Amino acid sequence: MALSDKHARFVAEYLRDHNATQAAIRAGYSPQTAAAQASRLLRNVKVRAAVRRGQARVIAEAEVSAAATLRELGRVGYFDIGQVFARNGDLIPMHELPPAVRAGIASVEVVMKNAAAGDGKVDRVLKIRTTDKVPALGLLARHFALLVDRVEVSGAETLAEKIAAARRRGAELAAARAGKQGG
């Protein structure tokens, strides 16, 4: 069951930015009715299926997966700066580093300068900035439920007491209405 040309255009436009109203306008729907049309289109079984297929294709083309994301977070979170140095202390050339090690490097800056004044020699200074490990480790900890966000409620009145008070107010209002109608 194929989509109409206009529906197919909507799906293509929706996959660009996931803004349904703007996708409807770009697909040729009236700006005045675009929001309603977009809502209706996203409830359409064929359109919804085409959007899912398109999203799956985009993810596959980007080679993005939950496993790859976790793997990359692990590479960053567990990065060891010692892995960029050879046993003699020299830096290992970037092209020789495995991807798992390169993942932990945010940037490399090469500075050419005369380190010892007056010797006439130009020295190469490498500055390596590593990726911040804390956010990656935090995301991993949340994923594995090692960190759980907790909300604490303080105050003299418990939730059960608030519910009971609201019910009493509701009963009082109902009784007051009933008294006005009967009087």
Q: What are phi and psi of 130, to 5 degrees?
A: -90, 160
The domains of the chain are located at 5-62, 69-133
The residue ranges of DSSP E strands in 27-177, in sequence order, are 105-113, 123-130
- Residue pair 27/10 in contact (Cβ under 8 Å)? The answer is yes
Express each pLDDT in 48-88 by its tens digit.
999 999 998 888 887 777 888 888 899 999 999 999 999 99
Query: From CA 79, how far away is CA 75, in angstroms rounded?
Result: 6
Q: How confident is the model over 150-162, as a mean pLDDT?
A: 75
Residue 108 neighbours by CB under 8 Å, 6+ apart: 94, 126, 127, 128, 129
- Using a cut of 0.75, tell me whether the model's pTM lies above it: no
The class level of CATH for 5-62 reads: mainly alpha
Q: What are phi and psi of 146, to 5 degrees?
A: -80, -25
